[in-house]
Amino acid sequence: MSGTPALAHTREELAGLLAAARGAHRRVGFVPTMGALHEGHASLMARARAEVGDGPVVVSVFVNPLQFGAGEDLDRYPRTLDADLEICAREGVDIVLAPSVEEVYPGWPEQREPEVTVEPGPLATVLEGRVRPGHFRGVLVVVAKLFGLVRPDVAVFGEKDYQQLVLVRRMVTDLCMGVDVVGAETCREPDGLALSSRNRYLDESQRLEAVYLSRALRAAQETAGYGPAVALDSARAELRQAKAVDLDYLVLTTPDLRELPAVVPAGTEARILVAARLGTTRLIDNLPLVLGTAREER
């Protein structure tokens, strides 16, 4: 499949478009999105193409109401389907699935909660889950539904939403879904800010200060050889320079988001994650790092 992507609004349309590819036993790649696509999403599409070769790449564009809490930006979340289709065409996407809420959640809006859902477990109650109760339940429900509709062999998720990536992998493993979940490196602006659909909400001064999030992570990465305490102190020092950054959390964890052991052997892989508000806009970011020693001092 190639050229302008075919647009499917219903599960029947999607099934028809995928039938020929499945008959040819080609691998199906999938990139789930909420639209408002940017170059970060484009990189996920390119990764999906690399994973499946001449198999079809499917992109979903669906703003999922179940993952938005009270007071969050569901209503103002940008809907830009025409522009999204242009990016998908440029990246060689074969099928774009853009379903209605009623298509994904039969009975909506009278029945706003599915009777059968996915319980994300204790990891969904920390970090983003602590600030956004129920968010990851909504994420996993819609991802499970989309996996059921698309039945992909490979699904690509960005590492910027790292907790989401970890939870999706856990769901796929625990529920034996048979999908290869690939994490793609975060795309960034030239100054280091992670690409995000929410960056458009920043005013000029907030945009200048937002870069301190990625600077903090880089500082931790560069000093990780001296141990976790030094890495965190380096990150905090960067953040203290930003007057408009309202820090939510800055944490250092294992790659699967567990607590680091009290003694950290040299060469231990870890993840540093940050979340903060600039005005009314909440941004997240993270980076991998390797802790070079069990000592926590220089």
Which residues are part of the catalytic machinery?
41
Asked whether 245 and 212 are in contact (CB, 8 A), the reply is yes
**61 Rama class: left (phi>0) / alpha (psi -120 to 50) / beta:** beta
- Which amino acid, residue 129? G
Counted residue by residue, the chain has a size of 298
> Rounded distance, CA 251 to CA 125, Å?
15
> Rounded distance, CA 277 to CA 150, Å?
35
> Rounded distance, CA 37 to CA 73, Å?
17
> Rounded distance, CA 91 to CA 5, Å?
10
CB neighbours of 179 closer than 8 A, spacing ≥ 6? 147, 152, 153, 154, 155, 172
**25 Rama class: left (phi>0) / alpha (psi -120 to 50) / beta:** left
